[in-house]
Amino acid sequence: MNRFFVDKVKAEDKYIILNDPTQLHHLRDVLRIKPLELVAVFDNFGNEYITVVNEIGNEAVKLEVKEKRSPKDLGVSVTVACAIPKKVKMDDIVDKLTQLGIDCIIPLETERVIVRLDKQKKIERFQRWNKIALSAAKQSQRSRLAVIKPISTLKDVFSFANEFDLKLIPTLEGSRKSLKEALSQECKKIKKIIVLIGPEGDFTPLEIDLAKKAGFLLVSLGSHVLRVDTAAIAVVSFIKLNEPRTF
């Protein structure tokens, strides 16, 4: 079933009005959906609605709500703060991590990040990444959008790191635990995890030291040196695949 997104639907609403130009174009002109066809709608709160297309206009589509499905238990919440890699790989990271069920992605500027964006470029990338996350959420049939934060620094992340039960920083340096060992510690209490993914060349020794002081555990991703996008996908995949057993 084709899926579309709205910010919010009131509990008493019998109809949903879809007026986002991009989604309207996709429904009407690309998919060529007709009245009386079924489509699914999800909102920012994890609710899902099974609807029937009632009217298709030039500026909006009217959808009649037939069934509401409440938010599912999504298990452990995972946030990844990821250093911005070169070229367009951040697009792929947002896409793949959204498909894997991540809750929040924070693009990071660290000491060794090569890509430096001006204010306008940051706005444009932020908007682009949100569009990619929306598309990936629809494709993977998620019932909740991944939150894409504006480009941040490690200092920004450390300021709210105490909100998480487990804080991980994969790195090539220092005394490290395996990812499995880190996830097994106090497993019953883990509800929110944050992972820092460094740039090409890893975090600097100072950044690693600051992360340790903020409560992050140093972990290893194995004997191979992984690219930024590979590391991000590998960590989230491991957490998600082991979640039913480990947590």
Contact present, 53 and 33 (Cβ < 8 Å): yes
Strand stretches in the chain, DSSP E:
3-5, 15-18, 38-42, 48-56, 61-69, 77-83, 104-109, 147-148, 152-153, 166-170, 177-178, 192-197, 217-220
- The phi-psi region of residue 107 (left if phi > 0; otherwise alpha if psi is between -120 and 50; otherwise beta) is beta
Does pLDDT of 110 surpass 90? yes
CB-based contact 105:146 (threshold 8 Å): yes
Can you tell me the distance from the alpha carbon of 150 to that of 124, in angstroms, rounded to the nearest whole number? 11
pLDDT higher than threshold 70 for residue 47: yes
Give me the CATH code for the 3-69 domain, please: 2.40.240.20
Mean pLDDT of 70-84: 86
DSSP single-letter state for residue 101: T
- Tens digits of residue pLDDT in 50-59: 999 999 999 9
Q: Do 16 and 63 form a contact (C-beta atoms < 8 A)?
A: yes
Phi/psi for 230 (5° steps) reads: -65, -45
* Residues of each domain in the chain carrying CATH 2.40.240.20: 3-69
According to DSSP, the β-strands at 61-69 and 48-56 are: antiparallel
Under CATH, which architecture does the 77-246 domain have? 3-Layer(aba) Sandwich (3.40)
Q: Where in the chain is the domain with CATH 3.40.1280.10?
A: 77-246
**Is 247 a residue whose pLDDT tops 50?**
no
Q: Tens digits of per-residue pLDDT, 129-187? A: 999 999 998 888 887 889 999 999 999 999 999 999 999 999 988 788 888 888 886 55
- The type of residue at 21 is P
Length of the chain: 247
pLDDT digits (tens, 9 = 90+) for 192-204: 999 999 998 899 9
Structure tokens at 158: 């450390």
